A = this chain, B = another copy of it.
Amino acid sequence: MTYNAPMTRKRFDQMDCSVACALNEVGDWWSLLVVKQAMLGTRRYVDFQNRLGIAKNILCDRLSRLVENGVMVRVDVGEHGKRYEYRLTDKGRDLFTVITALRQWSERWNGEKDSMKLVDRQTGAPLAPVTVQNQQGHSLTVRDVRFVDDNGNPLEETG
């Protein structure tokens, strides 16, 4: 073998799979943690760094990519520039479902790792478990769904 293909990280842009596409944007070790931290109210670069214990160059890279992908925005809050806040966009806030599902999954199977609880702001009651539901609101497992193509034909995924 004489030719080596360019060694780029395998990216999921072109995998024509929505899950892969999502992972391409927030599927690395840190991105979802940054988003989670932002949901707790963190906005400043140094605060992300201190709370998460992430290296500064990695944080820099992740914030840039989150901004690029429209998950966060960098807002100039300095009087004469050079003071910034990183805030979630609607797209970023919409990851609340994903992060909550992940958190609950971990709590169910690995036990609670922190003392943080999420409660309904109105009532103070704990949240319901996040589930996949049909349009009548009944929870479905993976066995209760079918994967079909555009024509409604079941995908033959024997392999």
Q: With the chains together, A117 CA to B132 CA distance in Å?
A: 14
Q: Which residues of B contact A70 (CB under 8 A)?
A: 109
| A131 nearest in chain B by CB position | B97
Copies per assembly: 2
* A19 with B103: CB separation less than 8 A: yes
Report the contact-size class of chain A (Cβ under 8 Å from the partner): 35 or more
Q: Are A16 and B114 in contact (CB under 8 A)?
A: yes
**Would you give the 0/1 interface string for A9-39, flagging 1 where the beta carbon is closer than 8 Å to chain B?**
1101001111111110101110011001001
Give me the interface of A with B, judged by CB distance under 8 Å. 9-10, 12, 15-23, 25, 27-29, 32-33, 36, 39-42, 44, 47, 50-51, 53-54, 70, 91, 93-103, 105-110, 112-128, 130-135, 137, 140-150, 152, 155, 157-159
